Amino acid sequence: MQRLFFSLVFAISLVISPHASADQHDFEQCRQIFANGEPPLIKQQDAQKLRALCFSAFAVLHSGQSRTPLYVAERLNRKTLQSAHEKRKDKFFADARLPRAERAELDDYKGSGYDRGHMAPAADMTTPESMAQSFSLANMVPQAPLNNRKAWAGIEKSTRKYVMRAQSDVYVISGPVFDSAPATIGHNRVWVPRHLFKLVYDPAANKAWAHWVDNQDTAKVGKPISYPELVKRTGISFLPNYRGS
């Protein structure tokens, strides 16, 4: 498991939002997406070209080293999901807010054998704007095709089912985990995750758990892991104020 700690233990060296100047140092324009307005805490102080991107329905901490999101955060509830009837567009695009040297391009995925795997799912989006934004490559990781379409899709569906039963807002954070020498795709050497995680936090029930799945076509969805176990595996305090188990 020690091989998995390398990429997720980053610190925020520079973060920006699409509605703000580049000298901002937090998710100022979209803190409402995080529980208690608090983004995750990353302990280690290594500068790794991290940039915060605010979208209308989700927030991304993007790594210019892996050229993928480090994590993607959403705030969901029954009302928002009941409004999620937008037709999927499949218009993927490279995010121009990121420097070219730090981002994935469409050509990186062509012929790679990997899907452009959403971290914030298109099916969660409720407006034409948020649907279009969800196809930013800043919201994507190279994902094994059957994993994306079966195991991961099942996790996304089960998360939405839970949100529909929850009393109020549910906070979801998804992201990749790489091993110490990750495979890459494309000219820009976009990192391929070894694992994927999806953290679900329900403040009203004071419960948090995480799905953890291998990024392989043969991966099976197992029993969720605890929040403390996710923190142990990643080195990130995703819910700084959470005091549950």
* Secondary structure (H, E, C), 128-196: HHHHHHCCEHHHEEEECHHHHHHHHHHHHHHHHHHHHHCCCCEEEEEEEECCCCCCEECCCCEECCCEE
Domain ranges of the chain: 2-237
The share of the chain scoring above pLDDT 90, in percent, equals 80
pTM of the predicted model as reported, rounded to 2 decimal places: 0.89
pLDDT digits (tens, 9 = 90+) for 12-65: 332 333 333 232 347 999 999 999 999 999 865 455 789 999 999 999 999 999
Q: Given pLDDT bands bounded at 50, 70 and 90, which one contains residue 83? A: confident
Q: 2-237 in CATH: which number? A: 3.40.570.10
Residues 41/231, Cβ–Cβ less than 8 Å:
no
Catalytic residue numbers read: 118
